[in-house]
Structure 1
Amino acid sequence: MRELGARVRNWGRWGADDERGTTNLITPERVAAAAGLIRTGEIFDLGIPLDADGPQPGGVRMNPIRLMSENGQEQVLPGGFKWADDFVFMPLQAGSQYDSLAHVHYDEKLYNGHPGDEVTIKGAGKCGIHTQGKGIAGRGVLLDIARHRGVDWLEAGSTIGADELDAVAAAQGVDVGPGDILLFRTGWRAKFLTERDPHGFMSGEPGLALSSAQWLRDRDVAVVGSDNWAIEAIPGENPGALFEVHMVLIRDMGMTLAEMLDFEELAEACAADGHYDFFFAGPPLKFTRGVGSPINPLAIR
């Protein structure tokens, strides 16, 4: 992992003080070009519902709890006016979400060499999700791994390597290049919708092989997202380590990750007309010093 991380590392590439990493690759020119991918104006929402029926089984993370603070039932106001308000209690990574570049680190260093102890009980002093506040928007590409394999969903622990990423892209007639937001479908969301088993969803997953980090670096991908909950295969390839793909992508490459997305409707539309690229708009919520953010990204075709 450390040898691979050293090869793909982006530290210093955008300056010694950079906290945004590969989203720097989403240039104004690339955003403008991506706007040309809007053919029909169809909008696909990729976020999962934020409610009690989500995939979080509790413990470290739970599904959102939403409570009403006012419902208007006991209000007596001029003209018959009534109003309602509510609030929510939830982990920032309870559903569809971004991992910020402060989410994981190793050897006491965050992305770009920022000190690991910058993450305190007050939050992320460096690389917090608020640094992505300009938004993450541009060319999105969907690689439908599950459809390519001819299965409803991949098995937990199943890895997706560089050769398969190339094969799926070629079969779909799409390229993956600099500044792209790469989305790959494993069918893991379909599994949850079929089984409604949070423990089964979270106990393992298919995902990227560690070697795929070089593939992403070679193509200068800006963001990677999936319908699973951790991007990488669980259990991982090395029984003696945890979340090695996370550590290389986030800490070494400076890549923002999008997790627990819903590609089911989008995948059907892409398969129907053969267009697997689109305009992607997925800004995070600007939680100052947050290490993650809920999102509801849009794919506009």
Structure 2
Amino acid sequence: MTTAMGGAPQAGADRWTVRPDGSNWGDFGPDDQIGRLNLITPERRRAAASEVREGLAFCLSLPLDCPRLPLNPRRFPPERSFSMRGEDPVMNYPYGRAIPGMKETVCDDRVALSLQYSTQWDALCHMGYEFDASSDGEEAVTYYNGFRAEEHVCGPVDYLHGGEAKPGPHGAFALGIERIAETGLQGRGVMVDLFAHVGLEAVPVGYDALMGILEADRVIVEPGDVLCLRTGFDRALLGQYNGGSDAFDPHRCSGLDGFDERLQRWIADSGVAALVSDNEAVEAMPDFVREDAHGARVPLHHLCLFKLGIPLGEMFLLSDLADWLRANGRSRFLFTAPPLRLPGAVGSPVTGVGTV
């Protein structure tokens, strides 16, 4: 199967003959690229809109250059500069320099940034897996719904075949972040306040603990909901960003225990459309040493991105909204957080809004 340059992939019935155990490949169609976001139907959006009673809006995103100190050595804060008119930076630029007599001035800037530095979405092609989808005895790098590396998700180096350089074009020609953006990504958010129960501690929250928190806070999760996990790490990031004097431990926060098989089954059965957290990885930060029965060392990413097509949102700003919801005896709200519609990208910053 081939992919036209920058175009949509052809019909995908031949991409795989077997799908991973516990996956939903093909359930939303052979060429589906948005996974469980299909469950955010018009009916579910109307239900989300009914949660708006006060008309209050909460920003759900950190500043784009937060954290001040990078958590990942391969991701960097934005580097801003100015557009240029010849040798002149366009900041307070008087048009009169180019057109005599004009009184207007203009400011125009630009930025280079890592797309997964601050508040971000992981596209479904963010993490793949070496899998024998054709049942021919040969594993290949495969992504959600059977899309393939070097065919649909193309990089400059073919690492599994001698490390050869690959000519362009490069990028995600399937499962790119623009597919998520095209949905509008608006639905009902459901807040789970882990911080209120375990504090800002490195606690892996498994099935039993999560069910206990849902029951204690009378939180109900339904298919098509966006599950938001508040750990309090967002405020720790902001404290460090604002020059706070408190010691900052980038691993001191809770997260879902991706190695808990019962929790994995619950995520699969719950029908949640997306998982969002204010921590770095949604799941408790993996040590990349342990692995599950499938050889996955980032098991929640493996389950959500590779098997189920559940987008993951990381380092969202959730604490302000979570505090308001708790004070008002609520857990549901209108969640609006589309990523940038940047074709071919594997992640994106986002300015999310929670409306109550």
> Which TM-score applies when normalising by structure 2?
0.76
Partner residue of 1:295 out of 342, 350, 353: 350
Is 1:234 matched with 2:279?
no
Output aligned runs, 1:1-301, within 5 Å: 6-51=20-65, 54-57=68-71, 59-69=73-83, 70-76=90-96, 78-107=101-130, 108-117=141-150, 118-121=152-155, 122-132=170-180, 133-149=182-198, 151=199, 153-155=200-202, 158-196=203-241, 202=250, 206-210=254-258, 211=260, 212-236=263-287, 239-240=290-291, 242-301=297-356
Distance 1:194 1:135, change over 3 A: same
Matched-pair contact (CA < 8 Å) for 2:223–2:270: yes
Q: How many residues align?
A: 292
Q: Cα deviation per residue 1:43-82 (whole Å; 9 max; x = unaligned)?
A: 0011110136545256310111122321124542645211
Larger relative contact order, structure 1 or 2 (CA cutoff 8 Å, min sep 6): 1
* Rounded Cα–Cα distance in structure 2 between residues aligned with 1:53 and 1:173: 33
Distance 1:201 1:63, change over 3 A: farther
* Rounded Cα–Cα distance in structure 2 between residues aligned with 1:35 and 1:293: 25
Name the structure with the higher helix share: 1
1:109, CA displacement in angstroms? Answer: 1.4
Matched-pair contact (CA < 8 Å) for 1:284–1:294: yes
Tell me which moved more, 60-69 or 41-50.
Answer: 60-69
Matched-pair contact (CA < 8 Å) for 2:66–2:237: no
Tell me which moved more, 54-63 or 180-189.
Answer: 54-63
Matched-pair contact (CA < 8 Å) for 1:25–1:179: yes
Q: Which amino acid aligns with 2:177?
A: I
> Which TM-score applies when normalising by structure 1?
0.90
Aligned residues: percent identity? 34
* Rounded Cα–Cα distance in structure 1 between residues aligned with 2:343 and 2:310: 19
**Structure 1 unaligned residues grouped into runs of 5+:** none
Matched-pair contact (CA < 8 Å) for 2:124–2:309: yes
Matched-pair contact (CA < 8 Å) for 1:204–1:234: no
Tell me which moved more, 176-185 or 204-213.
Answer: 204-213
Distance 1:170 1:292, change over 3 A: same
Secondary structure, aligned partner of 1:62: coil
Matched-pair contact (CA < 8 Å) for 1:184–1:226: yes
Matched-pair contact (CA < 8 Å) for 2:205–2:255: yes
Secondary structure, aligned partner of 2:51: coil
Q: Which amino acid aligns with 2:25?
A: W
RMSD after superposition: 2.2
Tell me which moved more, 174-183 or 5-14.
Answer: 5-14
**Structure 2 unaligned residues grouped into runs of 5+:** 1-18, 84-89, 131-140, 156-169
1:134, CA displacement in angstroms? Answer: 2.1
- Which structure would you say has the larger Rg? 2
Matched-pair contact (CA < 8 Å) for 1:154–1:188: no
